[in-house]
Structure 1
Amino acid sequence: MTALFDQLRAGPRSVLNRIPFSGGTGDDDETRRPLPVSGMLAAAWTLGVGLAVLTTLTLIGWIAAPRGAFGQGVAEVFRAACQVWLAAHHAGFAIPGGRVGLLPLGLSVLPAALLYRAALWMARDADLRLRMPARLPKGSTKDLANARRRAQLVLIAQAGVSLAAPYAMLAGVIALVARNELTQPFMGEALLSHLVLAFAAGSLATARTIGPWRSMLRLLPERPRALVAGTAVALLTMLGAGLVLVVVALGTSFGQVRELSDFLAPGVIGGVLLLLVQALYLPNLVIWGLAYLSGPGFAIGTGTLVAPTGVQLGSVPALPVLGALPDPGVTSPLLMSVLAVPFVAGAIAGVVVARVAPTPQFESAPLWGFGCGLATGLASGLLAALAGGPLGGARLSAVGPSAWEVALSVTLEVGVAAGISAGLANWWSMFHGARSAPAPVRMADEVIAKVTGKIKPSAGLPGHWMNATEADTQPIPAIRDDWSDEHTPFDPTPVVPRPAGPLATAPPHEAGDPEARRDIVDETDDRGGHVIYVDPYAWDRDS
């Protein structure tokens, strides 16, 4: 009976451990699944949870909006949720007379977070930590370290593919469900976007299982690691400046933004949804700010331009956040000073590149700095391509920054500044390091003399104790057997001090002499005392 109760208690726990994302540790070997199976379960879980969240939000919008917005039935609501899910992965749509490619990048946070959480479960469920190559002992060769790094990268790539492949196949099904008479999702963009996002999230989560975030960079060799660090610093600096620019523009034009919101009169629920949509487009606006700082600027339709050199606008979409755009005309010289931001970001990135991977050749450091600028330009161009796109046909077929213009401008600005700063930082580190390098110690007695020379000599010695002669040393008192020990009552007779210096002589040792030493006692003698002789020159004869 006791065994039966134990099985009943352990039964629900074992079942929960077999359910994905239930919080169970799953330590039993029977619960371990192959990596492709774990990846398929993780992909299905991500898609189910994501669609459930978006269907709920779409249903709220369907209740608040007019009935013609989402169709007449709940099936149309689910189809609209599928379209929003595809838009979250930056998959465009074809509409009558044009296409929709200007999609909110903030919406990608939902599938990215779900994929990362699912990838962590996949790595734990498939025991990828145990399959990771073991740590090498100290003193291992460089070839063994490179082989271990390659094995880690291969396992990370396998985990990314195991999650991305089934996730992309499920995305194809969602793209078929989301079709209707007005919107036709692009199947190629849907498959590619889901594949790339799932592979990135799966690889990142699997690499996270190796150790802390800092250890992930150690998977790369030294030079690529320096380029990645410098590119990240430059890109984050420019994106931070773009965010500050957007916040300042919204603060100074808050009145116009509020007037546009009142003109739309969306109501309570509609106002919340409108605010949510504008918040989801905030990453797009930050990238537009990056394009503005780099020089090319961005467009709000064909024939328009918003740049530091000038602003040319026409009619803009009725989105309240667009009320923060500057007025048409020539910009002020103070506003043109933002063009210095890419050079500052490049200077910081060049120092980071030189600090992470210094080079002994002075001429190669600027090349690595310019390579950092090239990587930053390519990343900025990719972000510009994702942040812009068409919003229909005719005039709104070009909205956002130009990808190739942003890439070229950022490459030249950041690359030149990073090359100069990397060369200077590398020269300074080599020059300063050569001057501050400690000189090698050739003889131990030099170090001993340097350390002991800081000790102040005693008043009774002429100098350093190693330089003293026999005539210069002070007398060493002898402990006689007729001296009193600690058990003898204290004698209050004052002790006459002996003269100090090189001419001091040994005191007489006759009994009753007032100059006899009574302050030295052999505490280990319990048999009446004995004489102890100390040879001060024994250290010289031990060798």
Structure 2
Amino acid sequence: MAVVIRMTARRPSLPSRRPSLSPLLGRVRDRSPGLAASLAAGALAAGLGLAAFAVLVIALWVSSPYPDSGPGGAVHVAAALWLLAHGVELVRTDTLSALPAPVGVTPLLLPALPALLVYRGTRDAVDAPDGDGAGAPPPVRARTAWTGVVVGYLGVGGCAALYASGGELRPQWPWVAVCLPLLAAAAAGAGVWTAYGRPREPLLSLVLVLPGSVRRLLLGRDSRVRWGTAVRASLAGTAVFFGGGTLLLAASLVGHGDAARSSFLQLTAGWSGRCTVLFLCVALIPNAAVWSASYAAGPGFALGAGHLVNPLASDPAPQLPPFPLLAAVPQHGPGTPLNWLAGAVPVTAGVTVAWFVAARAAKRSWPAGRTAGVAALAALLCALLLAALAELAGGPLGVAALTRFGPVWWQTGMAAGGWLLAVGVPGALGLQAWRREGAASLAAWLGFAPGKPGEGRTADNHNHKRKHKQRPDQKPKPRKQRKQGRRTPSHKAPPPPASVSPRAPASVSPPAQVVVVGLRPDQGDGDASERYEALPAEPREVLPGDPLTGLWEDEAARRARWTARRKLYGPAAEDTDAP
């Protein structure tokens, strides 16, 4: 018993002999609930993306009447498509020439799913509860949530890339090392930034890395307003380019409907194969819209090395497999006026950019130089966005002639920027003048009407003053008298009723008079307090047995009543019954 008591007494002194944990391990232990939730969120996002692609591929494989491989091959294809959705270039080993052929055209509709999953996973990881679970948990630190989601996502993505390396579509590891972390980091960063309320500090910290001259140029006067206007205008211009390209694609498909339908039916005879082709066409519609936008801008796109298609001319394309979207390509030969109508797309985009910039410039009263600078900045941002989309929409589809398939990114960007500068900058200045000065001043500024800019607004601002201003030698015009509020009574007053009693006692006061507000005819438009006066009441009808009969015909009351009427209406108010 003594030994047990002695050992129990010595136990509190044992932990003091151990070395304490380092501060770094303590911080990691404190953050472990948030970090663990972030890792789980990233892994879950990658797993859900893989599962979605696997369900689609396995469903098409099951419904296919002639499957080429077993379930393992279908899962390998699903993992390869998931990597292709991140922009990873694949290599197809099973070819007729026994040479590996690259597959680098990423359907732009596929990256939306993994990016959305990572974005939502990061937002959920920021709000993950801590270990104690008491009350509302504080948000996880931004760095912890971002790191956990990206690491968890890349862990599952690396395993998927290793698994896909054993199939017919194998990923190229340099592209895996670049594209997979890039998409995960960008989507996770957007999720953290949104979860914290979109603060400005991270964006400003990126600007501080730039040189001083560039930083002063970017962070000048009204920098937030200028950059916000340029970003909105560039997004609007990009949307117009994309929408115009979609319209051109639809019009071309309608014009080449027979060729598109025959190519769709020629590819496969089974319903599962046709569903696969239809799914691939839908996933490639954004790519075809970007190709059409590049076609409208001028450079066009390439259907193989050295085979360009643009509004001015179309080179004969090499032997391509039948595909519905390729059937919409214009026929080879010189361009026609119908092809030149595609130039309306960049013109509309330039007008849209000018409209957005001019609206803010007129509201903020910017000078012409600042308006032109914001319009040029919007054109530059829109050109960069279109160049990036053109690079993502194209790529190799084989060797030899198919090493280049799609638009050239730098040509598309330069052409779009040139269109926007040529249309957007003058358009923004003209629309600003229109909004500031009005249509008449703009016509005068352009030389279509006499006058100088600013006269329209000046005349509008001083119209009220000019209307009431008089020359010194000009006599003031007499004001018109207003209509009388009360109609002038006739010369003769109505006789008293016949049922009146002869007299009433003189000591009794007349009945209470009804106050009637009326306009005196001799006062015109004078002071409002002097134009109105209390008028006597109209003679009321007296009935037999009325207790006020004698009071109404009192002599003193009748004299006072007619004296007040003479004062009000002058000598014209005569009465035969007046005393």
Query: TM-score, normalization: structure 1?
Result: 0.68
1:383 maps to a residue whose letter is L
Partner Cα distance (1:288, 1:490) in 2: 101
Q: Which amino acid aligns with 1:466?
A: D
The letter of the residue matching 2:278 is L
Cα shift at 1:284: 0.6
Shift of 1:353: 1.6
Deviation, structure 1 residue 327: 1.4
Shift of residue 35, structure 1, vs aligned partner: 4.8
Give, in whole Å, the separation in 1 of the partners of 2:480 and 2:160: 81
Give the number of aligned pairs. Answer: 433
- Cα distance in 1, alignment partners of residues 566 and 291 from structure 2: 86
CA shift in 2, pair 1:474/1:413, >3 Å = closer
Does residue 427 (structure 1) correspond to residue 413 (structure 2)? The answer is no
Partners in 2 of 1:454 and 1:118 — Cα distance?
78
Match of 1:394 among 394, 400, 411: 400
Residue 233 of structure 2 corresponds to residue 234 of structure 1: no
SS at match of 1:392: coil
Give the equivalent residue in structure 2 for 1:372: 378
CA RMSD of aligned residues (A): 4.4
Q: Given the alignment of the two structures, is residue 83 of structure 1 paired with residue 80 of structure 2, yes or no?
A: yes
Q: Which amino acid aligns with 2:53?
A: L
> Structure 1 475/109 Cα, relative in aligned 2: closer, same or farther at 3 Å?
closer
Query: What is the match of residue 173 of structure 2?
Result: 187
Q: After the TM superposition, which residues 294-313 of structure 1 pair with which residues of structure 2 at under 5 Å, given as runs?
A: 294-312=297-315, 313=317
In the alignment, structure 1 residue 350 sits paired with structure 2 residue 354: yes
Q: 1:466 maps to which residue?
A: 527
The 1:384/1:500 distance shift into structure 2, 3 A limit, reads: farther
Once structures 1 and 2 are overlaid, which stretch shifts more, 109-118 or 335-344?
109-118
Using the alignment, how far apart are the partners of 2:141 and 2:368 within structure 1? 38
Hey, what's the Cα distance between the residues in 2 that align with 1:227 and 1:342?
17
What displacement does 1:198 show? 3.3
Give, in angstroms, the shift of residue 67 of structure 1. 6.8
SS, match of residue 466 in structure 1: coil
After superposition, residues 120-519 of structure 1 pair within 5 angstroms as 120-125=123-128, 162-180=148-166, 182-206=168-192, 208=194, 221-312=224-315, 313-358=317-362, 360-431=366-437, 435=458, 458-459=484-485, 460=520, 462-466=523-527, 473-476=531-534
* Equivalent residue letter for 2:178: L
CA deviations on 1:167-204 (whole Å, 9 max, x unpaired) are: 23432232222112654313343343333333443444
Distance in 1, Cα, partners of 2:37 & 2:480: 69
| Alignment-derived partner of residue 4 in structure 2 | none
Cα offsets for 1:339-366 (capped at 9, x unmatched)? 1321221122112023235553212211
Residue 126 (structure 1) shift = 6.0
In the TM superposition, what is the alpha-carbon distance from 1:318 to its structure 2 partner? Answer: 2.6
- Find the aligned partners of 1:401 and 1:275 in 2 and give their Cα distance: 23
Structure 1 position 164, deviation (Å): 3.3
Could you list the per-position Cα deviations for residues 258-286 of structure 1 after superposition, in whole angstroms to 9, with x for gaps in the alignment? 21222223301111111111111111111
Per-residue CA distance 1:222-267 (angstroms, 9 max, x = gap)? 1111011101111111111111111111112121112122222330
**Sequence identity, in percent?**
25
Q: Is the 8 A contact 1:42 1:121 kept in 2?
A: yes
CA distance 1:377–1:458, change in 2 (3 Å): same
**SS of the residue 2:290 aligns to:** helix
TM-score, length of structure 2 as denominator length? 0.64
Go from structure 1 to structure 2 and tell me whether the alpha carbon gap of 1:354 and 1:196 turns closer, same or farther (over 3 Å shift): farther
1:485-505 Cα distance to aligned partner (Å, 9 max, x none): xxx967798998976998769
Distance 1:181 1:243, change over 3 A: closer
* Counterpart secondary structure, 1:391: coil
Q: For 2:527, what is the secondary structure of its paired residue?
A: helix
Give, in whole Å, the separation in 1 of the partners of 2:36 and 2:547. Answer: 92
Change (3 A) 1:475 1:325: closer
What amino acid does structure 1 have at the position aligned with 2:311?
P
- Alpha carbons of 1:455 and 1:75: their partners in 2 closer, same or farther (altered >3 Å)? farther
- What stretches of structure 2 of length at least 5 have no aligned partner? 1-30, 93-98, 131-135, 204-222, 439-453, 466-478, 486-519, 538-545
**Do the aligned partners of 1:294 and 1:410 also contact (CA within 8 Å) in 2?**
yes
| Gap runs ≥5 in structure 1 | 1-31, 133-153, 443-452, 480-487, 508-513, 516-543
For the structure 1 residues 490 and 59, does the alpha-carbon distance in structure 2 shift closer, same or farther, using more than 3 Å as the test? farther
Q: Is the 8 A contact 1:373 1:416 kept in 2?
A: no
Is residue 101–residue 399 contact of structure 2 (8 Å, CA) maintained in 1? yes
Q: Could you tell me how far apart the structure 2 residues matched to 1:110 and 1:269 are?
A: 23
* Contact map agreement 1:474 1:502 (CA 8 A) in 2: no
Q: Distance in 2 between matches of 1:400 and 1:388?
A: 4
CA gap of 1:267–1:41, structure 2 versus 1, over 3 A, is same
Give the partner amino acid of 1:192.
V
Q: Are the structure 2 counterparts of residues 157 and 466 from structure 1 closer, same or farther at C-alpha, using a change threshold of 3 Å?
A: farther
Aligned positions of 1:531-542 closer than 5 A: none
CA distance in 2, matches of 1:323, 1:49: 35
CA distance in 2, matches of 1:229, 1:457: 59
Other-structure match for 2:45: 46
Which of these residues, 112, 119, 128, is aligned with residue 109 of structure 1? 112
Distance 2:380 2:431 in 1: 19
Q: What is the rounded CA distance, in whole Å, between the counterparts of 1:206 and 1:224 in structure 2?
A: 22
- Does residue 1:60 correspond to 2:59, yes or no? yes
Task: Specify the SS of the correspondent of 2:87.
Answer: coil
Whether contact under 8 Å (2:76, 2:167) holds in the other structure is: no
Residue 19 of structure 1 corresponds to which residue in structure 2? none
